[in-house]
Amino acid sequence: MKSTGSTLLGLDIGTTHCKAALFSERGDLLKLAKTKTEVYTDRGWAYFDPERLWTSVVRLIREITEQGGDCTDTTGHPADMRAIAAIGIASMAETGLLVDPNSGRARSPFLPWYSRCAVTQAERIAAESDLAERFAAHGLHPSFKHGLAKLLWLQENDPGALSGSMWLSASDYVAYRLTGRMATDYTLAARTYAFRLDRRDWDRDWVRHFGLEPSLFPEAIPSGSAVGSIHPDAATALGLPAGLPVTIAGHDHVAATLAVGVVNPGQVMDSMGTAETLVGVLPERALTAQDRMSGLAFGIHPAKGRYFWMGGLSASGGAVEWFRSVLSEPALDYERILERLAGFDPAAGPTGILFFPYLTGSGAPRPDGRARAAFVGLTADHGQGDLLRAVLEGTAYELEWIRRTGEQATGAAIRDLIVTGGGTHNPAWLQIKASVSGCPLRQPERPEAALLGAALLAGVACGLYADVDQAAAAAASAGEVRSVQPQPQAHSRYRQLFEEGYVPLQEPLRALYRGVLSGE
């Protein structure tokens, strides 16, 4: 890669925050702007307002561009903030809306990935599927999160909205507002349960089976491809040059793998956000029965010739958010949470409380949209601090279950984890995770991995980097890596609770949820 002095603009449309950031071509963060993602509720269902979300994106980009002038990156190299070479957009994966492709008008709100409105539709999809055949084609297990389930929910609740409309993710929608072109990338298309990985195309017969038209879905293009150029009106409104290349960087967790160098088989990233996800890389190949039995999801990685595998917990940071707002009066702020964890002894081991963190259902290795959360093992001696630590331990147990499943599915040992995301600001949580898994955690000095990944893919699209591997190498060449080591004695006790408590109790608790508590 030859240095050009160019900068790259990354956008991340997230569940909790929308962000914009400017990076040097070496991956150094030059400027960051963020705002809270506004959530609304209608008849009990959460949604994001498309126009207000777009207004937030405009405000963030203006906050970056209105500063103007030159600045210096973290190593003292000059960077011209006006020399933006391209824009990359990452977003929460399954969140989507319907748009009229002729007028550009939104015909539905954004339905969030975590909304459980489509649980019944996901169960219908599963009942009408040859699950082995569908997994081999799509790399997924039926879930209320997926675009197809949400479209069937809309079909039942607002059938007129689907006629002549197109389903766009959050990244797709922002890219459309910037360029006027509707498209999606492979990583987002693969989260619809309507996209064939083996053909890199929409599964048209499968879509028609449900009375839907394949034209509901936009053209799918590889991650790191330019979807188009920013059109003059948008450029003027945003203070950007007309004709600037725009790329859909896709699934935020997958984009983040580039920023932390997880692009080769055997490497695994733990992204700790509102949802927590383990993402690994494997050579592109036909998916097997063993892959399906793992409960993991698979998709096309931006790096050529590679797939990714993924397993996650919908409510990880979300469980902490739930704890601080529901189990505290007044609600704990994050500074007070860290204060309460400050005296945590790394060698002390587990609380003895098992928290099953299924506030929004469970994913791999036991996908179940109806799974519920639970505390087991409480005594009168336990206080608020114990419950807080138990929440952190429960999310760590769940990720350990996914880690072991990933090892079995890929046949590759996972000896360490590269961690990123907002949860890394909680040192007690990192120590618990290391001790539960017995694996060292490595934390690259990349505070905004999804944003940087989006910027790197924009750099690939505009030719700043030859390919994804070169882009990831450029980002990996700078910055320190911190390490958190497991405590052997604590690991032994955590392992016993995990193997003799957390895993064996899964089935009886789930059976209870399926039976008495669900009214069956």
Q: Residue 221 half-sphere exposure, CB side, CA atoms within 13 Å?
A: 19
pLDDT band, very low/low/confident/very high, at 80 (cuts 50, 70, 90): low
Residue 24 DSSP SS3: strand
Residue 480 DSSP SS3: coil
Q: Return the minimum-mean-pLDDT range out of 308-312, 411-415, 473-477.
A: 473-477
- Range 317-407+487-515: architecture per CATH: 2-Layer Sandwich (3.30)
Burial 222-251 (b: 16+ CB within 10 A, else e): bbbbbbbbbbeebbeebebeeebbbbbbbb
Q: Return the minimum-mean-pLDDT range out of 106-110, 463-467, 480-484.
A: 480-484
Q: Who contacts 354 (Cβ-Cβ below 8 Å, separation ≥6)?
A: 375, 376, 377, 390, 393, 394, 397, 497, 501, 502, 505
**Quick one: pLDDT at residue 301?**
96
- Rounded CA-CA distance 373/215 in Å is 39
pLDDT band, very low/low/confident/very high, at 72 (cuts 50, 70, 90): very low
What is the rounded (10 degree) CA torsion for 46, 310, 98, 172?
A: 120
The pTM of the whole model exceeds 0.85? yes
- Rounded CA-CA distance 352/70 in Å is 54
**Quick one: pLDDT at residue 321?**
85
Contact criterion met (CB below 8 Å) for 11 and 90? yes
Contact criterion met (CB below 8 Å) for 95 and 115? no
- Looking at the predicted structure, is the pLDDT value of residue 47 above 80? yes
- Looking at the predicted structure, is the pLDDT value of residue 314 above 60? yes
Strand partners for 483: 442
- Looking at the predicted structure, is the pLDDT value of residue 477 above 80? no
Query: What are the phi and psi torsion angles at 12 (to 5°)?
Result: -135, 110
**Quick one: pLDDT at residue 76?**
47
**Quick one: pLDDT at residue 324?**
85
Query: Domains of the chain: which residue ranges?
Result: 7-256+448-476, 317-407+487-515
- Looking at the predicted structure, is the pLDDT value of residue 74 above 50? no
46: tokens are 């959460």
Multiple choice CATH, 7-256+448-476, 3.40.640.10, 3.30.420.40, 3.40.50.1100, 3.60.150.10: 3.30.420.40
Domains 7-256+448-476 and 317-407+487-515 share a fold: yes
Question: Average of pLDDT values for 378-389?
Answer: 91
Tell me the H-state helices in 362-448.
Answer: 384-410, 427-437
Q: What angle do CA 34, 38, 44 make, to 5 degrees?
A: 155
- Over pLDDT 90: what percentage of the chain? 71
- Looking at the predicted structure, is the pLDDT value of residue 3 above 90? no
**Quick one: pLDDT at residue 212?**
96
Question: Average of pLDDT values for 38-57?
Answer: 95
**Quick one: pLDDT at residue 400?**
96
**Quick one: pLDDT at residue 509?**
92
Q: Return the minimum-mean-pLDDT range out of 126-135, 211-220, 233-242.
A: 233-242
**Element holding 518 (H helix, E strand):** none
- Distance (Å) of CA 293 to CA 8, 77, 157, 202: 40, 50, 33, 24
Question: Average of pLDDT values for 370-399?
Answer: 93
- Distance (Å) of CA 10 to CA 77, 119, 220, 392: 20, 33, 20, 30
- Rounded CA-CA distance 316/277 in Å is 9
- Per residue in 100-119, pLDDT tens? 999 999 999 999 999 999 99
**Quick one: pLDDT at residue 185?**
97
Question: Average of pLDDT values for 420-424?
Answer: 87
- Looking at the predicted structure, is the pLDDT value of residue 495 above 50? yes
Q: Return the minimum-mean-pLDDT range out of 31-40, 266-275, 300-309.
A: 266-275
Tell me the H-state helices in 119-203.
Answer: 119-127, 131-138, 147-157, 170-179, 186-189
Write the DSSP string, 225-267.
SEEEE--HHHHHHHT--TT-EEEEEEEHHHHHHHHTT--STT-
158: tokens are 């607002």
**Quick one: pLDDT at residue 82?**
56
Which of 465, 493, 501 is closest to 85 using CA atoms?
465
- Looking at the predicted structure, is the pLDDT value of residue 313 above 60? yes
Q: Who contacts 150 (Cβ-Cβ below 8 Å, separation ≥6)?
A: 94, 96, 111, 115, 117, 118, 121, 144
- Looking at the predicted structure, is the pLDDT value of residue 98 above 50? yes
Residue 88 DSSP SS3: strand
